[in-house]
Structure formats: structure tokens, C-alpha cells
Amino acid sequence: MDHGTSLLLGLEGVEVVGVSVGGPDGRTRVVDVGTCDPAASCCPGCGVRSTSVKERVVCTPRDIGYGDAPIMVRWNKIRWRCVNSECARGSFTEAIGQVPRRRRTTTRLRETIGRAIGDAARSVAEVAAGHGVSWHTAHGAFVDIAATALTDPAPTSVLGIDETRRGKPRWVRGGDGRWVRIDPWDTGFVDLAGDQGLLGQVTGRTSAVVIDWLAAQPAPFRDAIEYVAIDPAASYAAAVAVGQVPDSGVTGLWSFVGGQAGSSINGSVLTSVCESVSVVMVSRHRLRTSRPR
């Protein structure tokens, strides 16, 4: 087929071998493609290029739209036999960067979905419906994009911990038939001394989730914390005051020094950013020299 058609599709790693109109609704443009990436015939187990065709298979990875009518990419790909007698892998199916193994969506579609949710702040459900994928697929694409964009938080001297309700309480029936009340809460960690804003957010509001989050941070981050501001939740107090984190170095770093709503640390940091603060905590090793004023 004319090379221009492949250029028009622009899906790296494949070339267009035919276009027809049909599909389940009679108006879908079906684009048949074949592999043109030489690396696709290299065994993922040993790297040796194969020339022994085992069978041909067809898959239809969902791709970005083009024009008004639906479009279906039909990839005719090859299952190769590994020709390396020392390789444990008997056979493998072609994969390319735009359609990795076990993916049913193209990489560029997942990136488009992820950016629509993350950059344009559109809902997962709306973007999923617009691209004809499931909610979980769209959410997974967003998580992948977010993982590449997010960086580890920089150390802060004042860490804020607070709870955020995530949806209304509801009752769901468990696998044993019993009704269980779900009351979803998240815990957010914020930088109260700098301008990083939200440092992290985890599901739940227990001591364990706070301890786990702290334990997951690098030691320099934990060492830099001079003050912790929390709301009155006893679980948070327990986590930061007496929390024991095996093998992490987090062992009761902070102690209560009192404090009420509007308490100030280092001038006006907390009074200006955290009206709900009712407990202010300070790291134990700095108690002698850095009490809140």
C-alpha cells in the first residue's frame, strides 16, 4: 500500500497494508497493518532474531480517533518460534513500543487519555466514554502519566497532615452477603514551610497509613522535618508521636508540645496557612532549641 497511508496513520512500528469500510456498525474504517519494526522479531527472552514463523494472529488495539467515523486498527502480527536452543522461551508474539505485550490500547491513546485527565482536569468517566475504553483503563493511563510527571517531594521543615473525605459514606454488600459501611477518607501530606503544596495523598486515615508514607520517604526528607502539624485525629498523633517503623529509622521522632488553632511556628507559617491546626508537634531532638513561639 502507498507509504503515504502509513504516514497518515502515524502509528510507529506498523505499516498500513489495507483500508476498508465495515466493522460491526458498517461505517468503521478498518485499517489493516503489519509489523515494520525489525526488533519485533527478536525474542524477549534472549534477544536473538527469529525467522521461524509459528502462526499469525490478529489483534485490534484501540487507538486514537481520526475523523468522525470510528476507526479500527487491525494488526496482523506473527508469533515466532525462538530459534535459540539455549533459550527457555519457546515462542513469542510481536510487540512494538506503541503496543507493548498484553496491552489492548496503543501507547499514544493511553498518553492522550492520561493528559486529558491530568492536564485538562476532565473526569475519568467522561474521557473513558469519549475514547471507548473502560473506566479502569482510563484511570490506569492517568496513573501511568502521573507517575512520569511526579517527582519525589523535596525536604520541608514543616509537614502538615490532614484528612480529606473522599465521597459520601455508603453501604456495600460483601462477598459473604453482609452489608458493610464504607466511609472513604484520604490522608494528605502538605508542605507548610515552602511552596510545594501537596506532597502526597494516601487512602485511609489511620496511624498505619501515616507511618507507611513516612517510611517510604528517603531519610533526608524525614530528617529535615522540624515540625508536624496535624488535626485532632488521635490516629495521626499516635503515628507521628509514637510511630514505630521497622527498618526505616522512624521511631517516635516527634513529641507533643501543645498548641491550638492558630499556633505559629517560625513566625506566621501556620497561622497563615492552616486555620484548622489544633495540635502542633515538634521533633524530639529539637525540643531544646526550637519550641514553637
x-or-dash string of contact with Zn ion, 164-203, rule CB under 5 A: ----------------------------------------
Environment class of 145 (CB within 10 Å of its CB; exposed 0-12, middle 13-18, buried 19+): buried
* Strand-strand pairing, 170-173 and 71-81: unpaired
CB of 29 or CB of 81, closer to Zn ion: 81
To Zn ion, the closest distance from the beta carbon of 48 in angstroms equals 6
Q: Which residues of 7-46 are buried (b: 16+ CB within 10 A; e: fewer)?
A: eebebebbbbeeeeeebeeeeebbbbbbbebeebbbbeee
How many residues comprise the chain? 293
HSE-up of 182 (CA within 13 Å, CB side)? 13
To Zn ion, the closest distance from the beta carbon of 230 in angstroms equals 54
To Zn ion, the closest distance from the beta carbon of 102 in angstroms equals 18
Count residues binding Zn ion (CB under 5 A): 7
x-or-dash string of contact with Zn ion, 62-101, rule CB under 5 A: --------------------x-x--x-x------------
Strand, coil or helix: 95:
coil
Q: Which helix (H) or strand (E) holds 18?
A: strand 14-22
Question: Which 109-138 positions form the footprint of Zn ion (CB under 5 A)?
Answer: none
Only one residue has cell 525489525, namely 38
CB of 82 or CB of 280, closer to Zn ion: 82
CB of 35 or CB of 156, closer to Zn ion: 35
CB of 73 or CB of 82, closer to Zn ion: 82
To Zn ion, the closest distance from the beta carbon of 94 in angstroms equals 14
To Zn ion, the closest distance from the beta carbon of 107 in angstroms equals 24
- Ramachandran assignment for 113, one of left (phi > 0), alpha (psi -120 to 50 degrees), beta (any other): alpha
> Which of these, 97, 79, 74, 96, lies nearest to 17 by C-alpha position?
74
Alpha carbon 167 to its chain centroid, in Å, reads 20
Q: Which residues contact 188 (CB under 8 A, 6 or more apart)?
A: 160, 161, 162, 163, 164, 198, 200, 201
To Zn ion, the closest distance from the beta carbon of 50 in angstroms equals 8
Q: Which residues on neighbouring strands pair with residue 181, listed in sequence order?
A: 171
x-or-dash string of contact with Zn ion, 31-50, rule CB under 5 A: ------------x-xx----
x-or-dash string of contact with Zn ion, 240-279, rule CB under 5 A: ----------------------------------------
List, in sequence order, every beta strand (DSSP E) within 193-257: 198-203, 227-230, 254-256
CB of 84 or CB of 255, closer to Zn ion: 84
To Zn ion, the closest distance from the beta carbon of 92 in angstroms equals 7
CB of 52 or CB of 251, closer to Zn ion: 52
CB of 45 or CB of 100, closer to Zn ion: 45
Under the rule (CB under 5 A), what is the footprint of Zn ion?
Answer: 43, 45-46, 82, 84, 87, 89
